[in-house]
Amino acid sequence: MSRLGDLIRTERLRQKLTPRQVARKCGVSESYIMAVEAGTRIINDEQARRILRTIGLKQQNEADFSLDDIAATVDLAQASPSVARAVEAARPQPEAVKVASTATEAEQEGVGGSVWLDALKSMLKNVPVYNAVMQPVDHRLLPILNGRIEGAAPDKVFYFLVPDDNMRGFRIHQNDLALVVPAQSPIDGAVMLVDINGSRHLRKVKKLDATTVLLQRYNREYEADSMQLSELTFLGRVVRVEFEP
Q: Where are the domains of the chain?
A: 3-122, 125-242
The most confident of 17-21, 90-94, 240-244, by mean pLDDT: 17-21
Amino acid identity, residue 109?
Answer: E
- Counting residues of the chain whose pLDDT is more than 70, the rounded percentage is 68
SS3 state of residue 166 = coil
The helices-and-strands tally (H runs, E runs) of the chain is: 9, 9
DSSP result, 136-163? EEEEEEEE-BTTBBTTB-GGG-EEEE--
Helix axes 19-26, 45-55, angle to 10 degrees: 120
128-156 pLDDT, tens digit per residue, is 999 999 999 999 888 888 889 999 999 99
Q: Which architecture, in CATH terms, is 3-122?
A: Orthogonal Bundle (1.10)
Running DSSP on this structure, what letter comes out for residue 201? E
Query: pLDDT at residue 68 above 60?
Result: no
Nearest by Cα to 7 from 29, 28, 32, 33: 33
Q: Which fold has domain 125-242?
A: Umud Fragment, subunit A (2.10.109)
* Domains 3-122 and 125-242 in one fold: no
Running DSSP on this structure, what letter comes out for residue 60? S
SS3 state of residue 100 = coil
Cβ–Cβ contacts within 10 Å for residue 153, how many?
Answer: 11
Give CA–CA dist 210/229, Å, rounded.
9
The strand pairing partners of 9, in sequence order, are: none
C-alpha to C-alpha distances, 164 to 94, 175, 181, nearest whole angstrom: 50, 7, 20
Identify the pLDDT of residue 27: 82
216's enclosing H/E stretch is strand 212-218
Give CA–CA dist 4/39, Å, rounded.
8
